[in-house]
Structure 1
């Protein structure tokens, strides 16, 4: 078997397990659109939030925030639970004793989450353009780059975060910090353009901030090449930090 066939086999097995876990499946499929809908209706009732200043409508902000919810729920949260569950069941240890190398095991486990996240983002985009009247993406290349980098960052952070969870139940808790920080500070709930200058400068360095910026800049337009490269470099830097953490702290055997 080649590396690709091994990863596909692992991904198929992981997809089967995900289908049997109804709670994880419903969370992955339903939570992102529900959160985007709740965000839209919640912001619609807030006074003083001038979205025109950020160059977007309420629907456009909610839809691009929906991409972030897909990354957080489908990729990060789902993968943390998957890595912890497979570790505690000794699946990772058994796989590691076979032909598959460490990156293949991690990538194969992440494959279903990656495919579901891409499908959900595509569905959100189609619904937004056809049903909500949102303008089509101005720069599809930047949208694609933001989505790919977001998946890579969230998957790498999921593998690193799983080291801190002692059980599948506690895996839900260790995902909360990234969710809260990203929701409040990465431009999902409030665009960074509407935050005070010093606060926005700090929030721009958060893990999902460059991803949200690329998604919105690609969808709404107005992002220059220099800014786009800077956002990509920030996302790649976070990926490097997460990969280092995985190599240093990822656990392949149950915690005792």
Structure 2
């Protein structure tokens, strides 16, 4: 199984390197978004959040990485491989459905992991942020986020006919996550009712786990709540993929 996953990952990495637009979006868009949002975050009243502007923007950057490097990138990639009949041919091999999707996602996940590591190192070394207080929660948030957004990318690809239309279909969730999941604006800055609603969004528990894992701000009750919400979204997304994902070309 591991050999098949690595082989699929190498093939997808080659295709990703050839697609310069997708590669630039995966690598550069999170950096540009963090830079653009930092100045806006600095103007917020963050006193009751217990975070500085640097802490809010850098920990929110984890969300940008997952959204652009994983979700939006893979939404288009899954559609492109389906329409090129790559997925259909792979299903005739020994690889199972989950292996095909996981192997195809490996390069994007690798890019996301590298960017998250750079964020942690840069935050601690250059911005003088505290060392991650709960690495276990940081890792748990990343793993749950990867599984969730790989699955959501596959769900989004189901409704798209072309890679370009997949980018459009992924935009609503992307914008909603940026605006309401604590990526750009921490939940504690929002009105209570709005924050309670935003806690139910797919990205929110992932960002809160990774942010709380770095800053050490999550209690047991909050940790369990975010883990449960993230796992519930993972179950829903995986169920949707198993039920509705299209392996045949829509042409």
TM bucket by the smaller chain?
A: over 0.9
The aligned residue for residue 151 of structure 1 is 146
- Cα distance in 2 for residues equivalent to 1:123 and 1:69: 14
Q: Pick the aligned partner of 1:37 from 35, 38, 45.
A: 35
2:18 alignment counterpart: 20
- For residues 162-199 of structure 1, what are the alpha-carbon distances to aligned partners after superposition, in whole Å with 9 as ceiling and x for unaligned? 10111011111011011111001101111111111111
Q: Match of 1:175, SS?
A: helix
Q: Which residue of 2 aligns with 1:252?
A: 247
Q: Distance in 2 between matches of 1:5 and 1:43?
A: 44
Task: Give 4+ residue runs of structure 1 displaced > 4 Å after superposition.
Answer: none
Partner residue of 1:56 out of 51, 59, 62: 51
Structure 2 counterpart of 1:240, from 214, 235, 250: 235
Output the aligned Cα RMSD: 1.0
Q: TM-score, normalised by structure 1?
A: 0.96
8 Å Cα contact 2:65/2:112 also seen in 1: yes
Corresponding residue of 2:86:
91
Deviations 1:49-99 (A, max 9, x none): 211211101111110111100000001011111100000000000111111
> What count of residue pairs does the alignment treat as equivalent?
251
Q: CA deviation at 1:130?
A: 0.8
Gapped runs of 5+ residues in structure 2? none
Pairing partner for 2:6 from 8, 11, 15: 8
Does 2:209 match 1:211?
no
- 5+ unaligned residues in a row in structure 1: which ranges? none
| Residues 57-206 of structure 1 mapped to structure 2, 5 A cutoff | 57-206=52-201
- Residue among 222, 229, 234 paired with 1:227: 222
Deviation at 1:159, TM superposition (A): 0.9
The answer to whether the 8 A contact 2:181-2:198 is kept is: yes
TM-score by length of 2: 0.98
Q: Displacement of 1:122 after TM fit? A: 0.2
